[in-house]
Structure 1
Amino acid sequence: MDVHVRDLRYFVAVAEELSFTRAAHRLFIAQPSLSKQIRRLETSLQVALFERDHRAVALTAAGAALLPQAQRIIEQWAVAQSAVFDAVTAQHTTLKVGFHTRIGRGLIPHVTARMATSLPGWKLLFRQVPWSDPTVGLSSGEVDVAIAWLPIPDDGEYSWKVVASEERWVALPAGHRLAPRTVVPLGELADEPFVALPRSAGPLREFWLGNDQRPAPARVVAEAETAEESLEAVASGLGVVLLSAGNAEIYQRDDIVYRPVTGLSPCELAVAWRAKDDRRAVHVVVEACTRCLCGESGTASSAG
C-alpha cells in the first residue's frame, strides 16, 4: 500500500508531541482515528514506529529514522503545492477569499478598491466555506485568504491579524421566552437547546457554544454546516445559536430576534493566510482588511 502525505503528517504530529492525545488535538481529529491511521502506516511499512504503554509514547529506532525523512517530504510537498498554485494564480490573477459567515462591515468594497489601485487587472473571488473546515479553506488550498472567526488551528501553518472584536449575541426564535429581554445573561441559556457547528470545527465549535465560559457544556440538539442553516434551525424553534454583534445586524430577519449576552468574552474576526505565502496580492488584501476596520494597524498574531 502506498503511503500518503496525510499519513506522514499524522506520524510527525505523534512523533513531535509524543502523545496521541495532544497530536489528535493538534490535528483536529479523534484520537481513535489517529491511532488507527498510525497502525495502518506501521502495517504498510511492516515495522513498529512507536513504543506505547499506559504512561508514555516513545519512538522506536525505525520511527526515529523515519521522522526527519517524513518532515522533509511534507515540506517538499508544501513547496510543490505552492509552486503549482503560484503558477495557476499568476495565469489567472485571481485571489480567492474564504468566509464562514457574510463578511459585511464595509470590507468587500474597501478591499476591492484597494486591489484595483494596487494590483490593476487582479480580481477577488469570494467563496463560502462550511463550518466543518476551521481553516476556512486555507488548509485545502481552496482559498488564498480567509475572513475567519478565531480560533483557527494554531499549528504554525497560518498567520492572521485581528480586524474586529465584537460582543457575542444570541439568536432566538421570535416568540422565545427570552425575546422580551434587552440583554440575556449567560446563565439564562444554561438549559437552552443549541444548534452547533460540526464536530470537525474543533475549538471553534466549543467557542460558539459558549463552552469556554460555561460551568457545564451546552445541550446540543442539532448541527449546521453554515450560518444560514443554523438560523433556519433557530427560526423553526429547534434551538438557539450564538453569533457576533456584527452578524446580528447583517442577518436581520423577521422570525429571529438577537440579544447581547452578558458573561461571555468578545469574539474576534481576523484576516488569515498561509504563513509561507508571501505573494504581494495576499498582503495587499491583508493590509486592506486591517486598515478598513482597524485604521492603520491591527493586532497581529502568528501561529507557531
Structure 2
Amino acid sequence: MTADVHVRDLRYFVTVAEELHFTRAAERLYVSQPALSKQIRALERQLGVELLRRDRHGVALTAEGAALLPHARRVLEAWAQGTAVVAQARAAQRSTLVVGMSTSPGRGGLLPAIRSRFTASHPQAAVRLRQVSWDDPTAGLADGDTDMAFVWLPLPGQERYAWTVVAEEPRLVALPDSHPLASRPEIDFTDLAEEPFLALPKSAGPLRDYWLAVEERAGRLPRIGAEIASTEETYEALVAGLGVCLVAVGNVPLITLGGVVTRPVRGLAPSRYVLAWRKGDHRPLVRAYADACRRVTERGRGGPRRPSGVATSSHDEGA
C-alpha cells in the first residue's frame, strides 16, 4: 500500500462518505460527477482496496472505507490547522498583504482606489499584487500563495472562502469581426450553441464550465476550439478564428484590440467578480482591505449594499 495520497483525494472520499451519493458530493465539491468517480477509483487503486460499494441501490461504505473515514477526517482537520498556522507565521513576519489576480481588475481605477483607502488606515502596511495563471481559478488562495484574491465565481472548494462582490456584469460574446454573427446587435445563446468555444484550462474546474455556459446548454456538450490561459492567448485565438468566448463587460477592453468585437447575449445570467479570502482569516490587514474594497465598490454603485457570498452573509464573515 502506497502512502502517497493527496489531501484532495481524502477530501473527495470524506465528502462521498458523508453524502453516500456521488452527485450530491460532486455538487458540494464543485466538480463534475464523472471526475469525482474517477478520482475515487484512482484512490482505491492506489490503496489496493474498495472503499465504497456502488450498486443500483446506491452507495455504501465498505469495511475498509469505514475504517479509513475517521483517520481521513483527522488528516483533513490537521492539514487545515497546519495551513492556518503557516499563514499566521508568515503574517507575523511581515506587514505585507499579497493580493492575487488572474487579470487586472480594471473597472474604473478600482485597485488604486482600494489601495488609497487601505493605506490611509494602515500606512505601515504594504500591498503586493501577484499575477497568477488561469490554471489556478483561486488566484493563489488554495495553496496559500496569496492572502486575498480578485476572482470569478464559482470557485473550486467554494465553501472554504469568504468574499465581497466587486461587480455583477453581463456576459458578452467575443468573436472575430469577420464572423457571420458579428453583424447582429444582440445574439441569442441558442445561436452560439454549435460554435467552437475557447475554454479555460481543465484545472479551472467549475469556472471552466461557467465560461462555457454549460448550465445553459441543456445537457449538450460544448465544442472546444482551443484552450486559453491568458488574455493574450484569448485575443490571438479569437483573431485566428479558433472559436468564440464569453467575457464579462469589465474585461472587454482587454481583448477588443482590433479584429475582435463583442455582442450582448440573450439567455445568460450575469457574472460575479469578487474579492475573496480564506474563511476564518480574521487578520486586521485582511479585514481592512476587504472593508476598503467594499467601500470603494459601494461608492461606485451609488450607495451602500450588503456584501454577498453564495447564499448567506456568512461568506463575508463581517470582515
TM-score by length of 1: 0.88
Equivalence for 1:91:
93
With 266-275 and 253-262 compared, the bigger mean Cα shift is at: 253-262
Alignment of 1:123-134 (within 5 A): 123-134=126-137
Task: State the shift of 1:236 in Å.
Answer: 1.5
- Look up the equivalent residue of 1:271 and give its one-letter code: L
The answer on whether the counterparts of 1:166 and 1:268 sit within 8 Å (CA) in structure 2 is yes
Secondary structure, counterpart of 1:179 in structure 2: helix
Structure 1 Cα separation of the partners of residues 21 and 210 of structure 2? 25
Alignment of 1:1-304 (within 5 A): 1-2=2-3, 4=5, 5-24=7-26, 26=29, 28=31, 30-40=35-45, 42-43=47-48, 48-105=50-107, 106-215=109-218, 216-295=220-299, 296-301=304-309
With 56-65 and 239-248 compared, the bigger mean Cα shift is at: 56-65
- Look up the equivalent residue of 1:214 and give its one-letter code: R
Structure 2 Cα separation of the partners of residues 179 and 51 of structure 1? 52
Task: State the shift of 1:195 in Å.
Answer: 0.7
Aligned CA RMSD, in angstroms, stands at 2.5
- Look up the equivalent residue of 2:89 and give its one-letter code: A
CA deviation map 1:204-258 (0-9, x unaligned): 2222122322344432111112233122200121111110111113443122112
Task: State the shift of 1:22 in Å.
Answer: 4.1
With 28-37 and 106-115 compared, the bigger mean Cα shift is at: 28-37
Structure 1 Cα separation of the partners of residues 189 and 51 of structure 2? 47
Secondary structure, counterpart of 2:139 in structure 1: coil
Task: State the shift of 1:38 in Å.
Answer: 2.6
Structure 1 Cα separation of the partners of residues 10 and 221 of structure 2? 34
With 157-166 and 129-138 compared, the bigger mean Cα shift is at: 129-138
Task: State the shift of 1:24 in Å.
Answer: 4.7
- Aligned pair count reads 301
- Look up the equivalent residue of 2:44 and give its one-letter code: R
The answer on whether the counterparts of 2:30 and 2:206 sit within 8 Å (CA) in structure 1 is no
Structure 2 Cα separation of the partners of residues 236 and 261 of structure 1? 22
Structure 2's unaligned 5+ residue stretches are none
Secondary structure, counterpart of 1:187 in structure 2: helix
Check 1:168–1:280 CA distance in 2 against 1; reply closer, same or farther (3 A cut).
Answer: same
CA deviation map 1:100-123 (0-9, x unaligned): 232111221012112212222222
Secondary structure, counterpart of 1:259 in structure 2: strand
Structure 1 Cα separation of the partners of residues 309 and 110 of structure 2? 20
Check 1:121–1:263 CA distance in 2 against 1; reply closer, same or farther (3 A cut).
Answer: same
The answer on whether the counterparts of 1:148 and 1:271 sit within 8 Å (CA) in structure 2 is yes
Check 1:7–1:152 CA distance in 2 against 1; reply closer, same or farther (3 A cut).
Answer: closer
Task: State the shift of 1:166 in Å.
Answer: 0.8
The answer on whether the counterparts of 2:9 and 2:40 sit within 8 Å (CA) in structure 1 is no
Check 1:191–1:50 CA distance in 2 against 1; reply closer, same or farther (3 A cut).
Answer: closer
Check 1:73–1:190 CA distance in 2 against 1; reply closer, same or farther (3 A cut).
Answer: closer
Check 1:3–1:192 CA distance in 2 against 1; reply closer, same or farther (3 A cut).
Answer: closer
Structure 1's unaligned 5+ residue stretches are none
The answer on whether the counterparts of 1:100 and 1:227 sit within 8 Å (CA) in structure 2 is no
Secondary structure, counterpart of 1:232 in structure 2: helix
Check 1:302–1:259 CA distance in 2 against 1; reply closer, same or farther (3 A cut).
Answer: closer
Structure 1 Cα separation of the partners of residues 215 and 292 of structure 2? 31
The answer on whether the counterparts of 2:9 and 2:39 sit within 8 Å (CA) in structure 1 is no
The answer on whether the counterparts of 2:136 and 2:204 sit within 8 Å (CA) in structure 1 is yes
